[in-house]
Structure 1
Amino acid sequence: MPRFLNPHSTGFLVLLSLCSGLPALGTDMALSGTSAIADAFQVPVSDVGLALSAFMIGFAGSPLLYGPLADRFGRKPVILVASAIFTLASIGCALASTLPELLAWRLAQGIGAGASRSLPTSIVRDLFDGAVARAKMSYIGLMGLLAPICAPTIGSGLLLLSSWRGIYGFLALMGGAVFVAMLFGYGESFTPTAQNNLRPGQIAANYAETFRHRQSLRYTLVATLSFGCLFSYVSGSPFVLMEAYELGPTAYGLTFAFTTVALLAGNFVNGKLNARAVSPRIPLAIGLGLAAATSTALAVLSMTVHIPLPLLLGLVALCMFSAGLIFANAIQLALQPLPHIAGVASAALAACQLGLGAIAGAAVAYFFDGRTPLSTAAAMAICAWLSLAVYRLLPAEASQGEAAAVIATE
């Protein structure tokens, strides 16, 4: 019998972090090559922004397939196939000779990355409950954030040493590393049941159950809209920082890392709070309020004055910190009542998040005026306020049984 990592070990957390960090590398590292790709293909920078939208479309849609497959065949084979797709697509991106070709490979790369987004949370749901699960998710997010912190800097370094093609070559190596690590380090955590067959009617029924359950629906929407706020900044950052503020690739990487450290800090604080069995409602409420306040301030200032770069980064950092207080709690509360279809529930949540991310990214690029961060700030504020409204106004529980499920997680 092969010996895999103990789920309670630090090594297992690192393994899931490596897997969940792969999509962040696929987005944040590639952003560093935006201007270089535009120059190479002789197209506007905004056209190259479509590569991120193509990645996000595949990234958003593929979990809807991976979820039922993971509930039917287990988590491990699905993650292995998906990481292989990511690796091959990254090689295709590195060899692309036209922008349409790059867009097609980025779409395939996003499809491969989809499993790394949704299935680590399913694995945590398989193995842990309540505050322990939220703490694990926070720490996985904490370590996984090393990817977006390092990604722009690594991307900028690869640009200096090679070209934008070197970025995608590195992504291919990382995809291969995830494949090998999951193959030898992860023992299957889920035993499929007869309910989890692949008949279209059963798949549709499982997805319908996810959205009919009021607790799951409420926190899925909160996590989705909060992700829209975060991704509005991620997708808009090269336009704002490199175009409006005229930062070079190295300076862009450092400033992006600074704001990502704030997200890391939020995850760290949230993990400590959950380790002390603090109710998830407390960091959730604080995070949602802080996100709404900081994104609104950023939008108002963008319409009235030229925001000094330190103030811009400070407001963004506070908003990123708030996201660290939100995500692990909202995701765990969305998945908690549905252990028998955790793969489907996690896939539905990931697809909603990433679908909104693709829309937000396209909107930010389309409305960018070349001078101000207004399109980015407005998208952040809209998503933040909608998330807060859902949390405050949408009923969480439909019955005493569902209410007990929420209490049991605290």
Structure 2
Amino acid sequence: MTATVDTGEAPAARPTPGELMSPRQRLRLVLVLGSLTAVGPLTIDMYLPALPAIVADFQTTSAAVQLTLTGTLAGLAIGQLLIGPLSDAVGRRAPLIAGVALYVVASLLCAVAPSVAVLGGLRVVQGLGVAAASVVAMAVVRDLFDGAAFAKLLSRLLLVMGAAPILAPTLGGGLLRWTDWRGVFIALAAFGVVLVVVAALGLRETLPAERRRRGGAVATLAVYGALLRDRTFVGLVLVAGLAMAALFAYVAGSSFVLQQQYGLDEQQFGLAFGAGAVGLIAATQFNVRLLRRHSPQRILVVALGAGSVAGLALLAFAVTGIGGLPTLLVSLWVVLAAAGLAMPNAPALALSRHGEAAGTASALLGAVQFGVGALAAPLVGVLGTGAVAMAVVVAGGMLAATAVLLVVVRPARLAGLEPDAVVLAAH
């Protein structure tokens, strides 16, 4: 019999599949996942400069056209709840390819929509396809990487997510110099075709059969029920959703406010919108530095407080007209920066409570964020197309998020949450 020698050393950790990749394979993976991640912001933001033109073309109201934005967000919310668990059960590739193919068909149909009602319905279907791309991209990262390697790859994808909203309105404005709003949807369909080819040829299955979830719909509903019974988790999810509502109120109203009220053309609007997105991205990256010295709980409280004050200032400037466009934009950009600090920390604090169900919790979080955003977008249109209407919803979202944090979550309850998840999410 051979004796076993105990060296006193812990066995070496098995490398993750991603760590076994060559640099060339990792680069290809980043390009594939980055393309999938970009489709969401492009779909939401690329047609924003055309919203006034769509109103004129269909001879309808701004509120009706803003419902087309709501349709995309609703599709994203519903799609995440469905596709997240589905990809855990059957694998990543099949839901991804089917979802993006559906996106291509919906985009082509949007280009020939005969009415604003049909366009809104097709935008819901578009949102379902976008959900497949975004959910699967994040799931693939979780399948392949862990720890620092996970954070590094995720940071690259988040930069893509940040750059896409900056470029999307500018790209849309550029397209509108050569075509009408229907051409924007043809361009999105073409991008979707590229994504189908990229996913089919460049992305292998990352969830082996032995790791797929069993139990079907009953088990999924049981996990969702457990999450919804956690008061702190639900409160933090609502905080993230209300911060997202403030962001999407700006997205829905800015094209009308900046173009119709302040006279910017489509290209100038794209630049002004992009400047706000730069502030949002800068805040999310600055959050990483702040986490080295401050707790995520403290950052969240301060960010929401600052965002609420900036929201009230925005409302005051919109009502009084003091300072004109510059003061309106500066206060808006401060709100966006505050949202950029709140949105990484609130979700990560929520997910740190349920590491055993991170996928399902992420799907619920995303559904609430885009669902609340879907409600905020038409509310701006119902109140009007001016700066006051947009400011009311933006300020209301930040104030409501602060109220939920203080009353429902209660910052003292956050003291025991693990900060490592927040650091990971902030990268």
TM-score (norm 2): 0.83
Distance 1:224 1:278, change over 3 A: same
Q: Which residue is equivalent to 2:334?
A: 318
Structure 1 position 51, deviation (Å): 1.6
| Counterparts of 1:127 and 1:285, CA distance in 2 | 34
Does the CA contact (< 8 Å) of 1:121 and 1:346 recur in 2?
no
Of the structure 1 ranges 12-21 and 350-359, higher mean CA displacement relative to structure 2 is found in 12-21
Are 1:329 and 2:353 an aligned pair?
Answer: no
Q: Which residue is equivalent to 1:265?
A: 282
Kindly provide the CA deviation profile for residues 118-140 of structure 1, in whole angstroms up to 9, marking residues without a partner as x.
44444455556678766755543
Structure 1 position 378, deviation (Å): 1.3
2:381 to 365, 377, 381: 365
Does the CA contact (< 8 Å) of 1:18 and 1:144 recur in 2?
no
Distance 1:129 1:403, change over 3 A: farther
Distance 1:259 1:397, change over 3 A: closer
| Counterparts of 2:408 and 2:144, CA distance in 1 | 29
Which AA in structure 2 matches 1:313?
Answer: L
Matches within 5 A, 1:388-399: 388-395=402-409
2:390 to 369, 376, 379: 376
2:107 to 79, 87, 90: 90
> What secondary structure is seen at the aligned counterpart in 2 of 1:289?
helix
Which AA in structure 1 matches 2:390?
Answer: T
User: What's the % identity of the aligned pairs?
Assistant: 32
> What secondary structure is seen at the aligned counterpart in 2 of 1:161?
coil
| Counterparts of 2:165 and 2:94, CA distance in 1 | 26
Distance 1:143 1:285, change over 3 A: farther
> What secondary structure is seen at the aligned counterpart in 2 of 1:62?
helix
Kindly provide the CA deviation profile for residues 355-400 of structure 1, in whole angstroms up to 9, marking residues without a partner as x.
11111111101101x4x4112111111211222233334347999x
Number of paired residues?
Answer: 405
Of the structure 1 ranges 45-54 and 289-298, higher mean CA displacement relative to structure 2 is found in 45-54
Which AA in structure 1 matches 2:347?
Answer: I
Q: Which residue is equivalent to 2:370?
A: 354
Which AA in structure 2 matches 1:348?
Answer: L
Of the structure 1 ranges 38-47 and 292-301, higher mean CA displacement relative to structure 2 is found in 38-47
Q: Which residue is equivalent to 1:241?
A: 258
Structure 1 position 12, deviation (Å): 4.2
Distance 1:132 1:233, change over 3 A: farther
The structure with more radius of gyration:
2
2:53 to 15, 30, 36: 36
Which AA in structure 2 matches 1:392?
Answer: L
Structure 1 position 190, deviation (Å): 4.3
Kindly provide the CA deviation profile for residues 313-354 of structure 1, in whole angstroms up to 9, marking residues without a partner as x.
111111112222222232233333434433321221111111
Which AA in structure 2 matches 1:289?
Answer: G
TM-score (norm 1): 0.86
Distance 1:343 1:183, change over 3 A: farther
Distance 1:339 1:53, change over 3 A: same
Matches within 5 A, 1:54-93: 54-93=71-110
Q: Which residue is equivalent to 1:406?
A: 418
Are 1:224 and 2:241 an aligned pair?
Answer: yes
Which AA in structure 1 matches 2:328?
Answer: L
Matches within 5 A, 1:240-319: 240-273=257-290, 276=292, 279-319=295-335
Distance 1:207 1:261, change over 3 A: same
| Counterparts of 1:259 and 1:129, CA distance in 2 | 32
Structure 1 position 115, deviation (Å): 2.6
Which AA in structure 2 matches 1:312?
Answer: L
Are 1:18 and 2:35 an aligned pair?
Answer: yes
Distance 1:158 1:318, change over 3 A: same
Q: Which residue is equivalent to 1:146?
A: 163
Structure 2's unaligned 5+ residue stretches are 1-16
Distance 1:128 1:296, change over 3 A: farther
Distance 1:119 1:329, change over 3 A: farther
| Counterparts of 1:92 and 1:163, CA distance in 2 | 15
Are 1:176 and 2:193 an aligned pair?
Answer: yes
Q: CA RMSD in A?
A: 3.3
| Counterparts of 1:22 and 1:75, CA distance in 2 | 17
Of the structure 1 ranges 341-350 and 248-257, higher mean CA displacement relative to structure 2 is found in 341-350
Does the CA contact (< 8 Å) of 1:206 and 1:341 recur in 2?
yes
Distance 1:257 1:65, change over 3 A: same
Q: Which residue is equivalent to 1:51?
A: 68
Does the CA contact (< 8 Å) of 1:55 and 1:109 recur in 2?
yes
| Counterparts of 1:220 and 1:131, CA distance in 2 | 25
Of the structure 1 ranges 320-329 and 189-198, higher mean CA displacement relative to structure 2 is found in 189-198
